[in-house]
Structure 1
Amino acid sequence: MVTEQRTATDASPEHAGREHAGREHAGPERDGPERDGRLRERAGWAPLRHFAERSVLGLLAVVAAGLGFGLLLLLVRWHWTPLQDLDTGVADGLNRLVAPRRWAVDTATLVSRAGGRPVMIWLVAFAVMLLLVRRRTRLALYLVVTGVGALLLDPSVKTLVGRLRPVVDVPVASAPGNSFPSGHALGSMVVYGSLVLVFLPAVRARWRPLPAAAAALVIAAVGLTRLMLGVHFVSDVLAGWLLGVAWLGATAYAFRLWRREAGHPVGPLPQGLEPEAAPELRPAPDETRLLPHPWVKGAEIVTGWVLTFGLLYLVGYLLTHVVEPTPLGAADNAVPRWLQGFRSDTLDRLSYAWSKAGDTHAILTVCLVFCPVALAVWRQWRPVLFVVLTMLGELTLFLCVSAAVQRPRPDVEHLDGTLPTSSFPSGHIAATLCLWVAIALLVTGRVRAWWRWIFVALAVIMPVGVAVSRMYRGMHHPSDALGAALLTACWVGLLWWVVRPQAEAPATAPAGRPACG
């Protein structure tokens, strides 16, 4: 009843007149297209105003870092005495502390590599590749621009300043180029900082301080080791950090402006550069579970490892103590002698290169390339677990069997010198076989395109080439290669049955991402 009365009152002529008079009193500017245009203008500027309000502290930090770097640059150029005394004193003190301790030099050298250009380039390249696979082109472009900018800033400023590196009493390391600013400090700040900003949305909110703290720890450690090695002054490292913060902040701010102009919401920076990319940035969002009954699976793997070791030891014992005196053993020893007759400088170099394809560095490099790509494309940890267990099992089986059997190497000239392990089984051949067979099994089971057969061919060509090169170089008998093949068949077959790396593979690709093949 009250509602009906209010409606009738509002509809009365007297109320309509008051409303019309109010509109006339407000003036014509509150009606028509001008008011709509002003409202649209305010709505259009609102996101930019909120963005600027949220980013003002970040902008001040970037400006402060830039001013701090500029001040350091001027003080270095003017040879300000207090700064020179500080730099020289710290360099001399750390040199006296570190130089007599070899373990400290080795540790500082190892940690320092985390900020070196090769590691930085590989990290950015891998991250860009993974982002492109996950269709995050904008983030990939951000990493490329940020990384390239750091690469250009470092030599440019060093050339501009022209500062020589420290001269200490006992040099423990050397570095090319000028000293100011530290390229390792600059590169680590930019690369690790940008990686955190890009991949932060993939981390749960309560755990996000951890990757930021880890990156800060690595950046600080890299800068400290450059001082310990005596290749930079304190002001060099500080300048590298400040310039890195300024460049990282400027690129992050430009990226967020780019997002706003493209119509995307811009949230707080602690949420990452693209918070909505969290599902694509998570390593395995399509995987429901890694392994069912992990304790049972672990027991099966350990049991299979023991049985494989026992079989390989039995074969090695028979070869060493039973087959060796027989004509079969003589033929086994004759093959390396026969291959020795073909040796030449060209074949020596070729066999060395192919033999290196089966050493630890090459195998590790292939694993570090394949596993991230497989994780990005298939969005599951299980194939990666299969490859990792394959290579760990191969390594432990080879080392244990080799130590237990103690088979001498062929009685010919060994082109690779004296090695710490015995002849059976061949570690190079076993590692090559296990790696490429595991990769071929995964690819052929998940890819339907014609190029899957390339990996099948590699699973044959690579081990055969390594086996021939190892025998040519006098390091193995043919039976050592057969032992590697037996190791591969037993171990990879066991893991294929236990881990089942093809299980739970998505039948179709998620929206916006094409299926393999």
Structure 2
Amino acid sequence: MPFLLRYDLDRSRPRAGAAFKDLLVRAIAPGVLVFLAIYGFGLALIGPMQSWSTAEEPISKDLESHRTSLWNSITMVWSHIGNTEYVIGFCVLMMLLVWWRTREWWFAVVPGIAIALQASIFVAATNLTDRPRPEVSKLDPAPPTSSYPSGHVGASTALYLTLAFMAHRIDNVVLRRVVQVVCVLIPLLVSYARLYRGMHHAIDVAVGLLNGIVCAVLAWLWLRRKEARSS
């Protein structure tokens, strides 16, 4: 079944029990494996691969040395896009909008599943690894979580990538392409902003991106769908 068309080719309403089972088997269980991989890599970063932090530090230092008031202001906006309150608020708004337009709750909840999955993996991994942030001046208030992985990047990636998937239903081709490009671009802007503003190492951002991408894909595939048989 084509990846983007799975909710179009089968628009049948799932039963609650079957949907819950699919959520456990197809999203939550793989999410546990993703967490173990991210956590394991995090332990390596603060252990036998600790020298990587020394190798990453020049990147943060170089970005710090090239800061300007203009880019400080621009990246502040980009960084705030990934704030928890904005991500959750926009996610809820989009789920309500999609549900109102489609009346397909199983389709509307996809961004919520992606955000919840990403957040669970991020919170567990960041608290257990406790990696220090870069040794540069911080332009944002440092949250209580550690540097690894980036929660801002993971959350924005999980949210906007699922919205890019969902945007294939927009009939107007130009509008559809614009929405999809913007949705893909936003996590990249957030990633650069978090690096520029001294909040994360490069690896923290890369793993945050990976976490968001994987969670978006798992959320998109959370429900079993079947192609309608041609008569």
TM-score in terms of structure 1 length: 0.39
Q: Does residue 157 of structure 2 align to residue 433 of structure 1?
A: yes
What secondary structure, in the 3-state scheme, does the structure 2 residue paired with 1:322 have?
coil
* Equivalent in 315, 318, 321 of residue 44 of structure 2: 318
Shift of 1:503: 6.8
Q: Aligned AA for 1:293?
A: A
* Equivalent in 19, 22, 35 of residue 294 of structure 1: 19
Separation (CA, whole Å) in 2 of partners of 1:393 and 1:352: 26
Separation (CA, whole Å) in 1 of partners of 2:192 and 2:65: 14
Q: Does residue 211 of structure 2 align to residue 482 of structure 1?
A: no
Shift of 1:341: 0.9
**Partner residue, 1:453:** 177
Contact 2:130 2:146 in 1 (8 A): yes
Q: Does residue 138 of structure 2 align to residue 414 of structure 1?
A: yes
Contact 2:111 2:216 in 1 (8 A): no
Shift of 1:331: 3.2
Separation (CA, whole Å) in 1 of partners of 2:220 and 2:56: 32
Separation (CA, whole Å) in 2 of partners of 1:464 and 1:383: 25
Contact 2:125 2:148 in 1 (8 A): yes
Q: Do the aligned partners of residues 471 and 464 (structure 1) sit closer, same or farther apart at CA in structure 2, a change above 3 Å counting?
A: same
What secondary structure, in the 3-state scheme, does the structure 1 residue paired with 2:67 have?
coil
Contact 2:154 2:208 in 1 (8 A): yes
Q: Does residue 45 of structure 2 align to residue 333 of structure 1?
A: no
Q: Aligned AA for 1:289?
A: P
* Equivalent in 5, 25, 30 of residue 304 of structure 1: 30
Q: Do the aligned partners of residues 332 and 460 (structure 1) sit closer, same or farther apart at CA in structure 2, a change above 3 Å counting?
A: farther
Separation (CA, whole Å) in 2 of partners of 1:337 and 1:412: 7
What secondary structure, in the 3-state scheme, does the structure 2 residue paired with 1:476 have?
coil
Separation (CA, whole Å) in 1 of partners of 2:205 and 2:165: 21
Separation (CA, whole Å) in 2 of partners of 1:299 and 1:366: 25
Q: Does residue 80 of structure 2 align to residue 344 of structure 1?
A: no
**Partner residue, 1:104:** none
Shift of 1:291: 5.5
Identity of aligned residues (%): 25
Shift of 1:319: 2.2
Separation (CA, whole Å) in 2 of partners of 1:478 and 1:318: 16
* Equivalent in 489, 495, 503 of residue 219 of structure 2: 495
Shift of 1:382: 1.1
**Partner residue, 1:361:** 85
Deviation by residue 1:136-158 (Cα, 9 ceiling, x = unmatched): xxxxxxxxxxxxxxxxxxxxxxx
Q: Aligned AA for 2:152?
A: H
Deviation by residue 1:199-224 (Cα, 9 ceiling, x = unmatched): xxxxxxxxxxxxxxxxxxxxxxxxxx
**Partner residue, 1:384:** 108
**Partner residue, 1:191:** none
**Partner residue, 1:152:** none
Contact 1:407 1:422 in 2 (8 A): yes
Contact 1:291 1:499 in 2 (8 A): no
Separation (CA, whole Å) in 2 of partners of 1:447 and 1:379: 16
Deviation by residue 1:298-337 (Cα, 9 ceiling, x = unmatched): 4313312211110110121222223331xx5433222111
Contact 1:386 1:499 in 2 (8 A): no
Q: Aligned AA for 1:322?
A: P
Separation (CA, whole Å) in 2 of partners of 1:330 and 1:289: 51
Separation (CA, whole Å) in 2 of partners of 1:472 and 1:503: 45
Separation (CA, whole Å) in 1 of partners of 2:15 and 2:134: 44
What secondary structure, in the 3-state scheme, does the structure 1 residue paired with 2:142 have?
coil
Separation (CA, whole Å) in 1 of partners of 2:183 and 2:59: 23
Q: Does residue 125 of structure 2 align to residue 401 of structure 1?
A: yes
Contact 2:138 2:199 in 1 (8 A): yes
**Partner residue, 1:54:** none
Contact 1:410 1:477 in 2 (8 A): yes
Q: Does residue 94 of structure 2 align to residue 370 of structure 1?
A: yes
Gaps of 5+ in 1: 1-285, 506-517
Contact 2:142 2:199 in 1 (8 A): no
Separation (CA, whole Å) in 1 of partners of 2:120 and 2:15: 23
Gaps of 5+ in 2: 1-10
Q: Aligned AA for 2:65?
A: G
Contact 1:290 1:381 in 2 (8 A): no
Q: How many positions carry a matched residue from both structures?
A: 216
Shift of 1:448: 4.2
| Structure 1 stretches of at least 4 aligned residues deviating more than 6 Å after TM superposition | 502-505
Which structure is higher in RCO with an 8 Å CA cutoff and minimum separation 6?
A: 2
Matches within 5 A, 1:275-290: 288-289=13-14
Contact 1:402 1:422 in 2 (8 A): yes
Cα RMSD (Å) of the superposition? 2.2
Q: Do the aligned partners of residues 425 and 472 (structure 1) sit closer, same or farther apart at CA in structure 2, a change above 3 Å counting?
A: same
Q: Do the aligned partners of residues 418 and 495 (structure 1) sit closer, same or farther apart at CA in structure 2, a change above 3 Å counting?
A: closer
Shift of 1:296: 2.5
Q: Aligned AA for 2:41?
A: V
